[in-house]
Structure 1
Amino acid sequence: MAAKIALKLRLWRDDEVAMGPGKADLLEAIGQTGSISAAARAMDMSYRRAWLLVDVMNRSFREPLVQSAVGGTRGGGAQLTEAGERVLKQFRAMEAAAVSAAERKLAPLLKELA
C-alpha cells in the first residue's frame, strides 16, 4: 500500500491569500529567472496572472516581496527583496514543519486505510 500526506498551507490577510504554495513557487521562479514574465512562462502561467499574484503579495506584507524594473533598452526584470527572501524561507520552513508534524500522527490513520 502506498500512502502519503500532502498539505497545502495558506496564509490569509483579510480576504486574500497572502502566501500559499503557488505564490511561494512563483517567488522561487522569480528568484531563479530574474523576471516575472520568465517565471510565469516556466510555471505555464500567464504574465497577467503572475503579476496579479505578485501584486497581492506585495500589498499583503509590510514590505514588498518582489521589486521589478520597467523594460527598455536595458530590459526589465524582477528580483526578490530581502523581505521576499525572508518570507519565502519562513513559509517553506512552516510547510516542512507542518508535514513533519502530520507524518508523526499518520501511522494510526494508515491502519484504517483499505
Structure 2
Amino acid sequence: MEEQSPPHLRLKLRILFGEAMLGPGKADLLALIRDTGSISQAARQMQMSYKRAWMLVEELNAMFRVPLVESLRGGAHGGGARLTETGAEVLALYRSFEARSAQAPEIAALQALAGDISGGK
C-alpha cells in the first residue's frame, strides 16, 4: 500500500471578546475597507450584502474602546470609509498573530500526525 502524504493544514484564528469575535472574515473585511476606502466595495469583493458588511463593521466598532472604521460623509467627491488608527493597529496585530501561529511548531506536529481526510473521514 502506498503511503500518502498528510493533508495541508490551515489555521483559522478566532479571538473571542465575550460574545463577540474577531476572525479571518472580519479581518479580511477590515483589509478591504482599508484598500478600497469603501464598505460597499469591500462587501462586493467579499460577495456579501452591504447590510451584512455594515453589521460586521458595527460589531467591530463595538468590540473596542474606539471605532475601527469610520464613515466619511458624501459630498463633491462622494463618501466612503476608512480604518481609524486603532483599526489599522488591530488589523496588523491580528495578521501578525495569525502568521506567527501558522508557523508554530505545534502546527507542523499536528500535520505530521494527521491522517488522510480527503476521503471524507
Q: TM > 0.5 between the two?
A: yes
| TM-score of the superposed pair, with normalisation by structure 1 | 0.88
Give, as a single letter, the amino acid of the residue that structure 2 aligns with 1:91: Y
> After the TM superposition, which segments of 4 or more aligned residues of structure 1 sit over 6 Å from their partners?
none
1:73 Cα deviation from its structure 2 partner = 4.1
Give, as a single letter, the amino acid of the residue that structure 2 aligns with 1:86: E
| TM-score of the superposed pair, with normalisation by structure 2 | 0.83
Give, as a single letter, the amino acid of the residue that structure 2 aligns with 1:37: S
Equivalent pair of 2:33/2:83 in contact (CA under 8 Å): yes
Listed as ranges, the matches of 1:90-109 within 5 Å are 90-101=93-104, 102-106=106-110, 108-109=112-113
Counting matched residue pairs gives 111
Structure showing greater Rg: 2
Pick aligned residue for 1:69 from 53, 68, 72: 72
Query: Which runs of no fewer than 5 residues in structure 1 stay unpaired?
Result: none
Tell me the residue number matched to 2:18.
14
Instruction: Percent identity, please.
Output: 50
User: RMSD across aligned C-alpha pairs, in angstroms?
Assistant: 1.6
